[in-house]
Structure 1
Amino acid sequence: MLNNTYSQFSMLIGEEAEAAYQQEVRAEGYAGFRRLLDGLTEAIKAAADADIPGLEQALAKASRLFPEPVQFSPSWECIWAELEATLTAKKHVLSSISPAERSGEWQVIMDNPQVVQEVVCYPGLDFHDAAYLYAYFRPQLEKSEYIRLQKIQTVIQELGR
């Protein structure tokens, strides 16, 4: 469910409304800006094919209204680039896998075969959750790491007693 701050943001029309919203969020500080980010993140997570252009515009508007998110928190110095990279990766997934191929069970796997560390696997996902996880982690890959989004065709699973 999209939060109220993001809902207000997505309905802004005109410079006067944008300026009032900007002032309201700045007056509230960290909490107000955090709700906007949470709303944008949830919108990216829930985005279907037709939602991508609107989200691209929303991110552009958000970065224009709040060009220095580091004022709210040092951890948000690169938040616009991070959200844009996530949205770009999700757009790539949605454009690469047709709606007819999206049913069934999906998983996301990440590994770096060059180092001794555990493989990370997110199994048993529906397509949209898997697409978001792929999109979220894809921009963060380090040298020699890989990420895989794959559909499970056959599963044999047993439970221990």
Structure 2
Amino acid sequence: MKVAQNDYFQQLIEMRNDEDARGLGVQLRQEGFTPVRRLLDRLRDYLRQFTDEEGEMALELLHYARTALPEPGQISPSWAHIWQEFERIIRTKMYTFRSIAVEEREGEWQVLLDNPHSNQNIAVYPALTFMEAIYLFAYFRTDMTRNEYIRLQKIATVMTVTGTDTDGL
């Protein structure tokens, strides 16, 4: 049996009005969890990859997705706040694009998360491209607690030593 799959994300990209978005929402709710999950996965992938020039398009896609499914938490409780998370990611990435000049973006980047008032370890995501780093920066920023902080850092100098050097340096 061959099952036809609708590309709802492509429909979202081609969307031009709220009425079409509401129609898409009817289709998605009828088909249930899996198509909605695929749409959200594709939208998250888009959020990882969008560039400076595509920030407004990302906001527009989010608007239509939100119009199509105003309460995705009714399909899965884990999606109750997905639109707020996605909006924060978009706005943080747009802010970061405006804050860091294009000519400063080459090289290695890292993201660091810490809460100096807890005994949890510092989390560091090293050896990232600028695009990877700003997505993680935006993603983790959406769920920070009061005392946590996050840093987006460009690496100027790197020394890497492995544990296999038993004679020392």
Q: Normalising TM by the smaller chain, what interval?
A: over 0.9
1:8, distance to aligned residue in structure 2 (A) = 2.1
Q: Deviations over 1:24-51 (max 9, x none)?
A: 2112111111111111111110010011
The letter of the residue matching 1:84 is E
Q: Deviations over 1:28-83 (max 9, x none)?
A: 11111111111111111001001100111111111112111112101111111111
CA contact (8 A) 1:5 1:39 kept: no
* TM-score (ref. length: structure 2): 0.88
> 1:127 is matched with which residue?
130
Runs (5+) with no aligned partner, structure 2: 1-5, 165-169
* TM-score (ref. length: structure 1): 0.92
CA contact (8 A) 2:21 2:65 kept: no
Structure with a larger share of its residues in helix:
1
CA contact (8 A) 2:18 2:67 kept: no
Runs (5+) with no aligned partner, structure 1: none
Separation in structure 2 between the aligned mates of residue 124 and residue 16 of structure 1, nearest angstrom: 44
Pairing of 1:75-154 with structure 2 (within 5 A):
75-154=78-157
1:16, distance to aligned residue in structure 2 (A) = 6.0
- 1:19–1:144 distance in 2 versus 1, CA, 3 Å: closer
Q: Does 1:58 align with 2:65?
A: no
Query: How many pairs were matched up?
Result: 159
Report the RMSD for the aligned CA atoms in angstroms. 1.6
The letter of the residue matching 1:124 is A
Larger Rg: 2
Q: Does 1:43 align with 2:25?
A: no
| Percent of residue pairs identical | 40
- 1:144–1:19 distance in 2 versus 1, CA, 3 Å: closer
- What secondary structure, in the 3-state scheme, does the structure 1 residue paired with 2:120 have? coil
CA contact (8 A) 1:29 1:72 kept: yes
Separation in structure 1 between the aligned mates of residue 37 and residue 27 of structure 2, nearest angstrom: 13
